[in-house]
A and B are shown apart, each in its own frame.
Chain A
Amino acid sequence: MLRQIAVPVIAILIFLGLWELLVWVNNWPNYKMASPSDLPAAFWKYKELFLQMGWQSLWRTVVGLIIAVIAGTLLGMIMGFSKIARDALYPLLVGFNAIPKATLVPVISLIFIGQHDFNTILMAFMISFFPIAVSVGIGLSTLEPEYRDILRSLGASRFTIFRKIALPKTLPEFFGALKVSVTLAFIGTNLVEIVSPHGRGLGALFKSGETNGDYPLMFAVLIALAFLGIVLYYAVVFLERVFAGWAERPQG
């Protein structure tokens, strides 16, 4: 347990040390590359802004992700249960997923002018539902027929079979996809925050740092983003342990 915490902490410290060293050896000025020792001051100076903006980024990412989970699971279920739906929807979804989401920012901000929260959540959702839909769809469509038949031969309804067998059996794949999606949703949120004029959130804070030439602030935002990303990711890992911990192979 102690080792589980110590190893990543030491890794982070080594990373920060190397970064500090790199800046120091090259004698880079602040405006080229801030060093870790500049960051605490930057955080302290803008501590209220960081809390406020960090919260903005966080809740919009989470809401976008929740919508992505609901919509992705529904789409996955439709594709998992109906081959026709799978054949029809798959190319559409792949095509949509292939569109670089940055190109959609001006489109949605034109459709929903001034709806900053809405646009941000929409982007977080659009960028992150695909892995969930695909994993649920594949999980359901590859369910071995015997798994269905043990309950179907007793007259169980489709819904019962889904609840007792198909759904739990798909959970490991679902959480695998959710780990990808959570990071994507976060990227989607920040994309809109950075690009939108008068945006809010950590992305907007980054842009204000850029506009004012405040390099330590920009780097501090990047670190805050990384930190929030880690928090979100491990929140998913925690949920996975709770709901799909059985899928972990016993070690040793």
Chain B
Amino acid sequence: MDNLIEIKGVTHAYQTASGPLPVLDGLDVAVPEGTFAAVVGPSGCGKSTLTRLVAGLMKPDKGEVWLHGERVKGPRKTVGMAFQNPVLLEWRTILQNVILPLEIVAPSMKTADKTARAMELLDMVGLTGFENKRPSELSGGMRQRASLCRSLVHKPDVLIMDEPFGALDAFTREDLWQTMRDLRRAEPFTCVLITHDLRESVFLGDQVFVLSGRPARTQYLMPVDLPDDRTLDILYTPEVADMLHILRDQIKIAQGRAAEVD
């Protein structure tokens, strides 16, 4: 299988008032087409920077980012993004919010077609009947669902998510993991998910990248060999418990603390 996303030896430093701040140091990440890459790492290590590089919102000082066998030089229409803040536009209805990317990517598409496409996604995430509501009338979980629909409406081949479920309560979060799984089954896409929830990374990911502390590089790579149609029960198997244990130790190392010796 080909790698849809390839990050090769990316090094980057931000220019700040107190001099350059190195955030990435020779980072390598490869994500095969159609798979799900979960990325975990200490806070402030450069995870959001990684998403901005893949989305073409910024260029690295050194190294290369490849997408679909093409060097990333700027933003491209085949990318979808979702953030912790659902950033829905309050002056638009949920339906109009979901349609927004189509207005940029496919301006000539007929309104009826745009609406049909948006309604299809809203139905998949269980928001049918809420399409004419304003974002402020929805709960946090529903807003994040709408935000997911918006990031997928133009059928991107890459979905980049930066801690999308980070602000939700535990139960809502688990609901959204299942929604995410179902969306992928309905419309395959390659996914990069930044998260600080190790269970989330194992439940959704095909591989989990652990980044080291800043400046970040890939410290540990865990393949997740679980069936595609996972249910939440799988999180309580000894197999997953072992994986979570290893990841937790890796995070501790990344945070600069030694792994606990059992």
Contacts and interface: CB of A to CB of B under 8 A. Distances in A.
A168 B91 contact: yes
Contact residues on B (Cβ < 8 Å of other chain), bracket = 20 to 34
Given A150-B81, A154-B79, A168 B137 contact: no
A252 interface: no
Interface residues of A, number: 22
Interface stretch (B99-107, B119-127, B182-190): B99-107
A50 B152 CA distance: 62
Interface in A125-172: 144, 146-147, 149-156, 160, 164-165, 168-169, 171
Contacts of A31: none
B83 interface: yes
Given A144-B87, A165-B89, A153 B57 contact: yes
Given A165-B89, A246-B91, A246-B134, A153 B79 contact: yes
B89 A168 contact: yes
A144 B83 CA distance: 12
A251 to B, nearest CB: 13
B173 interface: no
A153 B75 contact: yes
Interface string B120-147: 0000000000000010110000000000
B145 to A, nearest CB: 16
B223 interface: no
A149 B91 contact: no
Contacts of A151: 100-101, 104
B175 interface: no
A162 to B, nearest CB: 13
B219 interface: no
A22 interface: no
A146 B85 CA distance: 8
A169 B76 contact: no
A250 B137 contact: yes
B55 A150 contact: no
A167 to B, nearest CB: 10
Interface string A211-252: 000000000000000000000000000000000101101100
Given A152-B57, A153-B55, A154-B104, A247 B90 contact: yes
A37 B154 CA distance: 69
B75 A154 contact: yes
Contact of B56 (A153, A169, A171): A153
A150 B75 contact: no
Contact of A246 (B52, B77, B85, B90): B90
User: Top 8 closest A-B pairs, CB basis?
Assistant: A246-B91, A155-B75, A153-B55, A146-B87, A154-B104, A146-B83, A156-B104, A153-B81
13 contacts: A149-B81, A150-B81, A150-B87, A150-B101, A151-B104, A152-B75, A154-B104, A155-B75, A165-B89, A168-B89, A169-B89, A246-B134, A249-B136
